[in-house]
Structure 1
Amino acid sequence: MKYFAVFLPMKDEQKSKDFRAQHLEFLSAGREEGSILMNGRFIDGAGGLVIYKGESLETVEKLVNTDPYIINGARNYEIHEWEMESNYNF
């Protein structure tokens, strides 16, 4: 299993507010099913970060494109494969 850091920079602040509840439900479902390891917002309002688990970049990108924030144009995204240090236990 690979890990991917997905940055979600702010694109439209109003749309981010409008679709926040749906986005949070999406994240919760992803954590429950195991495709999302963790997530959080940037305190300065610049956006957020989601750590996904997946077999490939393509698999994760398909998931990212089902996020209500992406579907509705509230956020952009940038994906980077991430190597998690092995001494952490999640």
Structure 2
Amino acid sequence: MKTFVVFLPMLDEEKSRIHRPEHLDYLESQRALGRIFANGRFVDGWGGMVIYRAASIEEAQQWAEDDPFVRHGARRCEVHEWDMVQ
């Protein structure tokens, strides 16, 4: 498995507020499938970040695009493979 960081910069604060419960449910379902390493929001309001474990960038990109925040235009997604040093 590879590690991918997904940045979710804010596009629309109102849409983010409306779709937050659906977004959190989605993340919980992804976590239950073992796909999420970590996630959280930036305290300055910029947006959030999700760290996925996936076989490919295409797989991580699809998961990011399936996020309700992205589907509803509240956030955009930017996916990068991450070489985490432990």
TM-score after normalising by structure 2: 0.96
Runs of 4 or more above 3 Å deviation: none
Unmatched segments (≥5 aa) in structure 2: none
Deviation at 1:83, TM superposition (A): 1.1
Q: Residue in 2 aligned with 1:23? A: 23
Compute the RMSD of aligned alpha carbons: 0.7
Unmatched segments (≥5 aa) in structure 1: none
State yes or no: 1:75 paired with 2:75.
Answer: yes
Alignment of 1:4-83 (within 5 A): 4-83=4-83
Q: Larger Rg: 1 or 2?
A: 1
TM-score after normalising by structure 1: 0.92
Deviation at 1:32, TM superposition (A): 1.1
Supply the distance in 2 between the matched residues of 1:67 and 1:28 (Cα, whole angstroms): 11
SS in 1 for 2:70: helix
Deviation at 1:65, TM superposition (A): 1.1
Does structure 1 conserve the Cα–Cα contact (< 8 Å) formed by 2:40 and 2:50? yes
The one-letter code matched in structure 2 to 1:7 is F
- The total of aligned residue pairs comes to 86
What percent identity do the matched residue pairs reach? 49
Supply the distance in 2 between the matched residues of 1:71 and 1:77 (Cα, whole angstroms): 10
Deviation at 1:84, TM superposition (A): 1.5
